[in-house]
Structure 1
Amino acid sequence: MPLGKYYCDYCDKEFQDTPAARKRHLQGLQHLRARAQWYHSLSDPNQAFADPFAKGVCNHFVKTVNFL
């Protein structure tokens, strides 16, 4: 049975879809950088403090929670 192809939207790359090949790709530096760049492009610095619920957030909570 022929194996299918896996296409990575972040890297714009296609390769044979085996568990080992997919794992190797998803843990690769090129993929991690491309994915990080894509998510970074979605962030809008003007919207960082636009949340109306953010005014009542406890300072201790903000300092102790890791958002990334």
Structure 2
Amino acid sequence: MDKRYYCDFCDKSFTDIPANRKKHINGTYHQRMRKEHYDSFRDAESILEEDARKIPCKDLLRKGSCTFELNCKFSHLTPEAKAELKREILEKVERERLKQKEKKVTITPTLEDWLQKRGKKPVKKTNPKVVFPQWSLPMNLRHVPNLPPSLLPPSMQNFNLERVEWE
């Protein structure tokens, strides 16, 4: 049984021989269907930009149809279609502008916001007061003269009391 080649663009299948495939791929129907497929993914800006460089198709204006269809080198966009594309572009620009505005306005979330969102009680803020523990020597070492510094309790002068702000 011969292998069959199926073309997704044209929705056709045929015997898969290099000559048949080449003939199909170079055919006008395949070229038109392929262009139509990829044009469906183009954005409004590129369509209007390309159309601005073209002059209107005279056959389309006179007869209402063009024999070249998608392969025509002239513009086939009607004024209504152009207005619709411009409206799409303006809507897209407005959406982008609103997104940028929202990014600038957003407030940095806090721990309290996070806890409140999850239904948990927020942690009460307390002013951290530096409390130093009171050290004392064990009873059996209190009467020993000349203790090494490692065995002596630390004094307040040993601590750096400057407040450091962490970012």
TM-score scaled by structure 2?
Answer: 0.27
- Whole-angstrom distance in 1 between the partners of 2:30 and 2:12: 10
Identity %: 45
Greater CA drift, 9-18 or 37-46: 37-46
User: More strand per residue: 1 or 2?
Assistant: 1
- Whole-angstrom distance in 2 between the partners of 1:42 and 1:3: 35
Larger Rg: 1 or 2?
2
User: More helix per residue: 1 or 2?
Assistant: 1
TM-score scaled by structure 1?
Answer: 0.63
- Whole-angstrom distance in 2 between the partners of 1:11 and 1:42: 17
| Counterpart in the other structure of 1:26 | 25
Listed one character per residue, the Cα deviations across residues 18-68 of structure 1 (whole Å, up to 9, x for unaligned) are 00000000000000000000000011215x5x8xxxxxxxxxxxxxxxxxx
Higher relative contact order (CA 8 A, sep 6+): 1
Structure 1 stretches of 4+ moved >2 Å: none
| Counterpart in the other structure of 1:37 | 36
RMSD: 2.0
- Whole-angstrom distance in 2 between the partners of 1:27 and 1:42: 22
Structure 2 alignment gaps of length 5 or more: 47-91, 93-167
Alignment of 1:1-68 (within 5 A): 2-46=1-45, 48=46
- The one-letter amino acid of 2:28's match is L
Structure 1 alignment gaps of length 5 or more: 51-68
- Whole-angstrom distance in 1 between the partners of 2:6 and 2:14: 7
Q: How many aligned residue pairs are there?
A: 48
